């Protein structure tokens, strides 16, 4: 990562992944746990998810490039390729993998005010 952090951003960068696992947060009783298991875990474990960034006409190209470098640790050239893809094609897939990690990335991107979504692959 390059440069200083946003004040208060420590909670994003040093976030405990369990904090973003909402199924864990809501598991107060065994009964509720069983409900969660019926509704969520299979899709989270088996299906790859992707982090998609969408174009918006306000965010500066240099700013978007900087954010990709900071959030994903991409070198400038790779960050610029994704930024241009967002600008020209309207969207770019920045990352794919397990759901919980993807949620954390989307959370960070929203912290930088980019339009980002988590989508199932395929």
Partner 1 sequence: MEIARRKDHLEISELDPFLAELLRQVPTSARAEGDPAAEARIYSAPSSAPRDELCSEWKAYVKPELRRLFQTAIETVAMDLAQLSGNEKTFANRSLKIPENHAEAWLSALNQARLVIAAKNDFTENELSDHCRSPIGSRRDLSLFQVNFYGFLQEFILREINPLAAGD
Note the residues at the interface with partner 1 (CB under 8 A).
2-9, 11-12, 20, 22, 25, 39-40, 56-60, 62-63, 65-66, 69, 76, 79, 103, 106-107, 110-113, 115-119
Residue 66 CB, nearest distance to partner 1 (Å)?
A: 4
Q: How far is the CB of 26 from partner 1 (least distance, A)?
A: 8
Reduced 3-state DSSP string for the chain: CCCCCCCCCHHHHCCCHHHHCHHHHCCCCHHHHHHHHHHCHHHHHHCCEEEEEECCCCCCHHHHHHHHHHHHCCCHHHHHHHHHHHHHHCEEEEEEECHHHHHHHHHHHHHCCCEEEEEECC
Shortest distance (Å) from residue 92 CB to partner 1 = 14
Query: Between residues 7 and 29, which has the closer beta carbon with respect to partner 1?
Result: 7
Cβ 20 vs Cβ 104: under 8 Å: yes
Rounded to the nearest whole angstrom, what is the least distance from the CB of residue 29 to partner 1 in the complex?
Answer: 18
Q: Residue 31 or 36: which CB sits closer to partner 1?
A: 36
Report the distance separating Cα 17 and Cα 20, nearest Å.
5
């Amino acid at each position: 990562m390059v440069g200083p952090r946003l004040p208060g951003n420590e909670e994003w960068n040093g976030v405990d992944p369990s904090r973003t696992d909402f199924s864990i947060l809501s598991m107060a009783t065994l009964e509720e746990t069983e409900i969660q298991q019926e509704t969520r875990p299979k899709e989270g474990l088996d299906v790859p998810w992707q982090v998609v960034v969408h174009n918006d006409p306000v965010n500066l190209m240099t700013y978007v490039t900087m954010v990709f470098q900071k959030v994903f640790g991409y070198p400038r050239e790779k960050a610029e390729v994704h930024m241009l893809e967002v600008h020209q094609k309207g969207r770019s897939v920045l990352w794919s993998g397990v759901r919980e990690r993807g949620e954390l990335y989307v959370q960070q991107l929203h912290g930088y005010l980019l339009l980002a979504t988590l989508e199932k692959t395929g």
